[in-house]
Amino acid sequence: MRLLIEEISNHEGEKITIKGRIFNIRNLGNISFLIVRDYSGVVQVVANKDIDVSPGDIVSIEGLIKKDERAKGGYEMKAENIEIITKNKETLPFDLEKDDINLNLNTLLDYRAISLRHPKVQSIFRLYDLLLKSYDEAMRDEGFVEIKTPKILGSASEGGANFFQVDYFDKKAVLAQSPQFYKQIMVGVFDRVFEVGPVFRAEPHFTTRHVNEYISLDAEMGYIDDFYDVIKTLNRVVKKMFAQMGIEDVPEEIPCIKLSEIRKIIKEKYDYDIPEDTDIDPKGEDLAGKYAKEELNSDFIFLTHYPIDYRPFYTMSEGEEAMGFDLLYKGLEIATGGQRINEYDQLIESMKKKNIKIEGMEFYVDAFKHAIPPHGGWGMGSERIIKQILNLDSIKEAVLFPRDVKRIIP
């Protein structure tokens, strides 16, 4: 019977069987030291030098467990029988046993099936697994119901031109830019809903912060008084998430600053003018994060009251200001949200003002004829959170198989 490597400390002096992958082989005299891993851990196996095995092979090893403080994990195995389950056919393109993988980004992604086996790369996605679990638990704790919405749509959910068009039988369809329409509809059903799912943005970016397919952590909640109710809920959710990941630096109340104010602060404190043709640019976000850390002792900051011209048609506004926010973490936007329009006539008026055609959106617009409560929500980029927690150079390092302007394989 196979035992996991993490269990061998309970079997000192016993003969057991493990199964895993050989990551490295070191020869010393007539002895070979095999470094073997499974998903639970790593162990050093002592074997005869004449064994015909190679790094990358999948093996089954029967042997005796000995305590050895010099070995990784404190125990080693004396092999008595080694069976190759699957033979590695080619020399590995790089050494997976080194502590650091030290590859340029293109090589890391071109050989993704191999680079993902490196423990340091694996650790990124073990944290990502914990992030997804923590979001799920935090949302359920807040009374939200999980939903799954279509990703092939009849019309773009965010408007604009940044959508992927696909053939759908005898029609044209688009890939979902967000679950926005459906989660608003579902507020009229469950009051509070959330979704973890892919979104697609046809934006020709060449940056360290953008990919064209990512996993969004979405939510929508009804019966709010204003968008600050959404901010408070997201604040609690993020705090719970980070606590589960062992990070305790999320404030009880993340500071909120109006966009117009942060623009002035950045100009006065850092002598930088955010370009007039944008709400806030990447350098502005970075400096806003720097200000939050230096003056407010927070890695997080909510920026609020963006110009309505920069927000989608379904956004509630007062005058020229949107009733919404962005959440920045270490100077990078990780979430955007706010209060939505819930009155039918107001929604139609906003669509006309932004030149949004109703055709193809009737199912969405008509839901508001039958009363949707005041509501708001957010969309949060899961991979951006991981990038910022681990201070990765590129968001693509936090995506298993990233999709960008030039990459659709592997």
Is there a single domain that holds both residue 61 and residue 150? no
Same structural domain for residues 324 and 241? yes
For residue 307, the cross-strand partners are 321
Does some domain include residue 407?
no
Of 64, 86, 108, the residue that ends a domain is: 86
* Helical axes 382-390 vs 119-141, angle rounded to 10°: 130
- Domain count of the fold of the chain: 2
pLDDT per residue over 100-114, tens digit each?
999 999 999 999 999
Residue 219 shares a structural domain with residue 156:
yes
- Cα separation, 246 vs 192, whole angstroms: 27
pTM recorded for the entire structure: 0.95
Q: Is residue 233 part of a domain?
A: yes
Is residue 345 scored above 80 in pLDDT? Answer: yes
Give the domain CATH number at 279: 3.30.930.10
Q: Specify whether 368 is located in the same domain as 297.
A: yes
Among 86, 109, 127, residue at a domain's last position: 86
| Paired strand residues for 33 | 26, 46
For the stretch 128-186, pLDDT in tens is 999 999 999 999 999 999 999 999 999 887 766 789 999 999 999 999 999 999 999 99
Q: Is residue 61 part of a domain?
A: yes
What is the model's pLDDT at position 337? Answer: 98
- Cα 210 from chain centroid (whole Å): 12
- pLDDT category at 73 given cuts 50, 70, 90 is confident
> Which CATH number do you get for residue 82?
2.40.50.140
- On whether residue 91 sits in a domain, the answer given is no
Whether 205 and 324 map to the same domain: the answer is yes
Q: Residue 45 sits in which domain range?
A: 5-86
| Position 404 in a domain | no
Section 235-254 average pLDDT? 97
pLDDT of 287-325, one tens digit each? 999 999 999 999 999 999 999 999 999 999 999 999 999
Q: What is the pLDDT, as a whole number, of residue 98? A: 86
Average pLDDT over residues 336-352: 97
pLDDT tens digit sequence for 189-236: 999 999 999 999 999 888 999 999 999 999 999 999 999 999 999 999
Q: Are 223 and 137 found together in one domain? A: yes
Same domain, residue pair 308 and 206 = yes
pLDDT given for residue 403 in this prediction? 97
405 within a domain of the structure (yes/no): no
Residue at which a domain ends, from 86, 110, 135: 86
Residue pair 328/292 in contact by the 8 Å Cβ criterion: yes
Residues 129 and 254 grouped into a single domain? yes
Q: What's the distance, CA 296 to chain centroid?
A: 26
Residues 131 and 74 in one domain: no
Q: Are 254 and 292 in contact (CB under 8 A)?
A: no
Q: What percent of the chain stands above pLDDT 70?
A: 99
Residue 31 included in any domain: yes
Reported residue count of the chain is 410
Six token digits for residue 300: 């997080």
The verdict on 143 and 53 lying in the same domain is: no
pLDDT of residue 159: 64
Tell me, yes or no, whether 102 lies in a domain. no
Q: Please check whether residues 82 and 137 belong to one and the same domain.
A: no
Residue 53's pLDDT band (cuts 50, 70, 90): very high
Task: Give, in order, the Cα–Cα distances in Å from 178 to each of 209, 217, 408.
Answer: 18, 10, 20
Mean pLDDT of the chain: 95
Count Cβ atoms below 10 Å from residue 249 Cβ, excluding itself: 11
Whole-number CA gyration radius for the chain: 26
Amino acid (1-letter code) at residue 356: I
Does one domain contain both 266 and 345? yes
